[in-house]
Amino acid sequence: MIRNLYTRLVLIVIVAALAIWVDVNDEIRLYNPFNNETVLFERSIAPRLGLDLQGGLQVLLEPDVAEGTDVDAADLETARTIIENRTNALGVSENLIQVAGGTRIVGDFPGAEDTDAILDIIQQTGVLEFVDTGDFAPDEGTLLQTDFAGGSANGTTVAATPLPTTESPTETPATPAPAADPSQPQTVYHTIMTGKDLRSVNVGVDQGGKPAIDFVLSSEGATIFAQHTAANSGRYLAIILDKRVISAPRINEPIPGGQGQISGNFTAESANTLAVQLRYGSLPVPLKVVETRIIGPTLGEDSLQKSLVAGLIGMIIVILFMGIYYRLPGLVADVSILFYAAIAFAIFKYFHFTLTLPGIAGFLLSTGAALDANILIFERLKEELRNGRNLTQAVDQGWTRAWSSIRDSNLATIITSVILYWFGSTFGATIVKGFSLTLALGVAISLFTAIYVTRTLLTIALRNFKPKNLQAWFGI
């Protein structure tokens, strides 16, 4: 029995040491013991702060479809993945994109600075088309009607101006666009191919040193492109994104090889944004921004500081209360609570849980649950001592009789947390999700610390230190 107790103590010390190490470091890196330059394992464990703690952008998106039109859940999930890939490629780290309620997409971008770029890239459908406009050279930005009903194409196609063989429409005489006449039907142009035929897309520079988009076509796309350019010399091939003209070079000669370049009035930023859209494909369903929420970094930092101060003050008050009121068991509980806090924060960091204000509230509330378990045990312990039992018997009976109450109350809290998490996931209430997740995790850890850590430490303390004055050491 004694040997088992000290084995438990060793495990507690090891776990506590590992937790503290994770708490004070932002990266885990293990090297090959035979070669210090070879990294065997590497993982970032820097704490992830939510919007309300570091500032950023939150966007609520809905399908931009006719009222009453059903949107397939698989399309929404695909759109979510594409948005996540697009924003990751822009360098927006630690974003959280999720489908909410089966009809909406919620995007959280903590620390985001260029909110306009994020909004542009997440709501553009990104359908690219190569369009045969014949002798008509449309101006950049012109809206064209095509025979491709591709608001939901899998690919995003931007093609254009192969580097050595095309001319800008501003440099070559072309048939001017006819005046718009509402009484006449709009011309529908033929789409030669779409973005699904792109194999790779990168930002480059054109012959004038300006930003451009270099692309390589798939084998099928390269064949179509070569055949069309061979058969349509002297005609214009418009490159359009979401039905709007990017450029419209004239075909001067066949273009084999499946490589080309899209040139236009790009800045470095707009070229990168377009390349990202084309690289990760078009959205399967058009989206519109329903709501945006921007939190400044100053407000987030202020909230974080106040939360830490409030949590620290609360922890100190609780530790003092437990030590003064419950004496020796209270001091043991204080050590257990510190162990609990170290373990919980280490788990949050290692598994990259995003910390938010509601999440911190859930963590502090779960600390109360940990104290509640200890209080139930200690009150039972005091009752057993008053009834004349010795310390060892009182400890065993105290835990045994308090366990059912502790189990039921904490189980009820975990069930409530699961319901809250489901509610937050269903309706896109990320605040509720953060609170419920940290509360449930904290309660689970508190059960372990109360039943395993506190009991082990108190039993060892009583075996090595047998107080004679129960009034002084146990408050009875």
Q: What does the DSSP assignment read for 126-156? A: --EEEEEEETB-PPTT-B-EES---TT-SS-
The four Cα atoms 147, 152, 154, 155 give a dihedral, to 10 degrees, of 60
Residue 95's CB is within 10 A of a number of other CB atoms, namely 20
Written out in words, the top-level CATH class of the domain with range 125-282 is alpha beta
Answer yes or no: same fold for 2-42+297-474 and 125-282. no
Looking at the DSSP bridge assignments, the partners of residue 104 are 100
Query: What's the whole-number mean pLDDT along residues 439-466?
Result: 86
User: How far, CA to CA in Å, does 339 sit from each of 48, 144, 296, 448, 454?
Assistant: 21, 65, 34, 11, 10
Every domain of the chain and the residues it spans: 2-42+297-474, 56-122+290-294, 125-282
Q: Would you state the structure tokens that stand for residue 118, as one six-digit string?
A: 């994020």
Average pLDDT of the chain to the nearest whole number: 82
Largest CA-CA distance found in the chain, in angstroms, rounded: 107
Angle in degrees, CA 196, 62, 111, rounded to 5:
85
Pick from 146-155, 169-178, 355-364, 406-415: least confident = 169-178
Rounded CA gap, 439 and 370, in Å?
A: 11
Pick from 6-10, 415-419, 425-429, 441-445: least confident = 425-429
Rounded CA gap, 448 and 267, in Å?
A: 57
Out of 3.10.150.10, 3.40.605.10, 3.30.70.3400, 2.60.300.12, the CATH code matching 56-122+290-294 is: 3.30.70.3400
**pLDDT at residue number 162:** 36
Q: Own/partner pairs for 320-324, CB < 8 Å, 24+ apart?
A: 322/371, 322/374
Half-sphere exposure of 29 (CA within 13 A, CB side): 10
Q: Would you state the structure tokens that stand for residue 447, as one six-digit string?
A: 């059960």
Contact by Cβ (8 Å): 474, 384? no
**pLDDT at residue number 166:** 37
**pLDDT at residue number 218:** 92
How is 203-265 classified by DSSP, letter by letter?
A: EEE-TTS-EEEEEEE-HHHHHHHHHHHHH-TTSEEEEEETTEEEE-PEE-S---SSEEEE-SS
The CATH number of domain 2-42+297-474 is 3.10.20.740: no
pLDDT digits (tens, 9 = 90+) for 289-305: 998 888 776 666 777 78
Is residue 470's pLDDT more than 80? no
Any residues with CB less than 8 A from the CB of 21 and at least 6 apart, and which?
A: none
Residue 229's CB is within 10 A of a number of other CB atoms, namely 22
Using 50, 70 and 90 to split pLDDT, how confident is the model at 46?
confident
Query: What's the whole-number mean pLDDT along residues 438-459?
Result: 88
